[in-house]
Amino acid sequence: MCRVVDLKQAVLAKNDGLAAALREELAGRGVTTVNLLSSPGSGKTALLELLLTRAAERGLPVAALTADLATENDARRLARSGAPVRQVLTGGLCHLEADQLRGHLEGWLPDGTRLLFVENVGNLVCPATYDLGETLRVVLMSVTEGEDKPAKYPTAFGLANLVVLSKTDLAEAVDFDEETFAEHVERVNPGVEVLRTSARTGRGVEELLERVTAVGAGERPHRPPLAGRHLNEHRHDHGPAHDHVHEHAHAHDHDHGPAHDRSHEHPYEPALDTGLPVR
Ligand SMILES: Nc1nc2c(ncn2[C@@H]2O[C@H](COP(=O)(O)OP(=O)(O)OP(=O)(O)O)[C@@H](O)[C@H]2O)c(=O)[nH]1
Ligand SMILES: [Mg+2]
């Protein structure tokens, strides 16, 4: 018999509290905060550089904080826009946390900033369950990653206020199937808006800037279906008698006897077979 102690749940609960406080603080300062999330290389920085440049052209007080495990490359690229930019090195951590973000904003975020972009560490798993106190979560994926990524990373896509399909200039070259992609998105996040962008041609950049500037600092747009629910992105088979410790992003407090009902209550189950085309 073993008792599953879910430390991660406590860590997430603590982060949620700190994120709520940060959201309130930023809203009080009139800042709309955008958390940009995607796998490495999806084009966050390329798109952000254009967004910052366009925002600056409009005279919109904008700033960006970018997080990576190593290098200041992204900050250098973003600084070309002329906007205030800060690079955060996470010291090996694969995501940003609310407390960390608050610490980096303190004494840096210029007064009067109306729009703050936070480029999260390139990763579709770790950052997904960490609320940063953002106003808006934008999840990107590029056409080169494959149509099924929303189904494979349902937490990230399920918590998005807005989904961006990037590198659309390459769609034809990789034979990207828009219809299948749209179906995958709709299943994990019904009703979420999908914007198509290209940092090469500038497609969608103005629209994206319009969307994020339309959201007031204290607003919560498009409530994603997974928001506020316990999340899980795992499946496990239980053998007839075993001891195990496993990490969940949701609470468990149950005893595993050798012959108990092994079904759990899971509020969200990623589909094993989506029934959609696989290539
Ligand atoms: N063709 C094309 N290439 C792009 C586009 N956006 C980004 N790229 C290229 O894709 C590569 C990765 O882009 P980045 O902007 O560094 O991606 P990222 O998501 O910021 O990457 P990480 O910060 O490492 O997670 C670079 O070589 C970009 O020039 C696009 O819209 N079209
Ligand atoms: Mg980047």
Mutating to test ligand 1, I would choose from 39, 42, 50, 208 the residue with most ligand atoms within 8 A of its C-beta, which is 42
Say if strands 162-166 and 136-142 run parallel, antiparallel, or are unpaired.
parallel
Q: Which residue has tokens 């498009």?
A: 222
- Give the pLDDT confidence score for residue 43 in this predicted structure: 98
- Give the pLDDT confidence score for residue 188 in this predicted structure: 96
Q: Where are the beta strands (DSSP E) in 167-245?
A: 193-196
Taking alpha carbons only, the member of 221, 212, 202 closest to residue 43 is 202
Helix, strand or coil for residue 219? coil
The whole-number average pLDDT for the span 17-31 is: 97
The DSSP secondary-structure symbol of 166 reads E
Contacts 24+ apart (CB under 8 A), 226-232: 226/154, 226/155, 226/158, 226/159, 226/188, 226/189, 226/268, 227/159, 229/267, 229/268, 230/267, 231/128, 231/129, 231/155, 231/158, 231/267, 231/268, 232/266, 232/267, 232/268, 232/269
**Looking at ligand 1, which residue's alpha carbon is closest to its atom 12?**
41
Q: Is the pLDDT of residue 228 over 90?
A: no
pLDDT digits (tens, 9 = 90+) for 158-213: 999 999 999 999 999 999 999 999 999 999 999 999 999 999 999 999 999 999 99
Give the up-direction half-sphere exposure of residue 179: CA atoms within 13 A in the CB hemisphere. 2
The DSSP secondary-structure symbol of 276 reads S
Atom number of ligand 1 nearest to Cα 42: 19
pLDDT digits (tens, 9 = 90+) for 28-83: 999 999 999 999 999 999 999 999 999 999 999 999 999 999 999 999 999 999 99
Pocket lining: 177 vs ligand 1, CB cutoff 6 Å: no
- Show me where the domains of the chain are located: 31-232
Between 62 and 223, whose confidence is greater?
Answer: 62
pLDDT digits (tens, 9 = 90+) for 253-266: 333 333 333 333 34
Atom number of ligand 1 nearest to Cα 166: 31
What does pTM read for this prediction?
Answer: 0.86
Burial class (CB in 10 A: 0-12, 13-18, 19+), 253: exposed
| CA 126–ligand 1 middle distance (angstroms) | 20
The whole-number average pLDDT for the span 90-107 is: 96
| CA 220–ligand 2 middle distance (angstroms) | 25
Where do the H-state alpha helices sit in the chain?
7-28, 44-57, 73-79, 98-105, 149-152, 154-158, 178-188, 205-213
- Give the pLDDT confidence score for residue 65 in this predicted structure: 98
3, 57, 85 from 80: Cα distances, Å: 53, 13, 10
Rounded-to-integer distance, Cα 181 and Cα 150, Å:
8
Pocket lining: 44 vs ligand 1, CB cutoff 6 Å: yes
Residue pair 163/157 in contact (Cβ under 8 Å)? The answer is: yes
Q: Is the pLDDT of residue 252 over 50?
A: no
Distance of CA 253 to the CA centre of its chain: 28
What ligand is nearest to the CA atom of residue 122? 1
- Give the pLDDT confidence score for residue 120 in this predicted structure: 98
- Superfamily covering domain 31-232: P-loop containing nucleotide triphosphate hydrolases (3.40.50.300)
Pocket lining: 99 vs ligand 1, CB cutoff 6 Å: no
For 69-124, the DSSP string reads SS-SHHHHHHHTTSS-EEEEE-TT-SS--HHHHHHHHTTTS-TT--EEEEE--S-S
Q: Which of 70-84, 134-148, 215-229 has the lowest mean pLDDT?
A: 215-229
Pocket lining: 74 vs ligand 1, CB cutoff 6 Å: yes
pLDDT band at 234 (very low <50, low <70, confident <90, very high): very low
Rounded-to-integer distance, Cα 40 and Cα 32, Å:
24
Q: Is the pLDDT of residue 232 over 70?
A: no
Pocket lining: 62 vs ligand 1, CB cutoff 6 Å: no
Pocket lining: 169 vs ligand 1, CB cutoff 6 Å: yes
pLDDT band at 278 (very low <50, low <70, confident <90, very high): confident
What ligand is nearest to the CA atom of residue 204? 1
Pocket lining: 15 vs ligand 1, CB cutoff 6 Å: no
- Give the pLDDT confidence score for residue 236 in this predicted structure: 41
Phi, psi of 240 (to 5 degrees): -65, -35
What ligand is nearest to the CA atom of residue 42? 1
The whole-number average pLDDT for the span 117-143 is: 97
pLDDT band at 155 (very low <50, low <70, confident <90, very high): very high
Pocket lining: 43 vs ligand 1, CB cutoff 6 Å: yes
| CA 244–ligand 1 middle distance (angstroms) | 40
Phi, psi of 140 (to 5 degrees): -105, 150
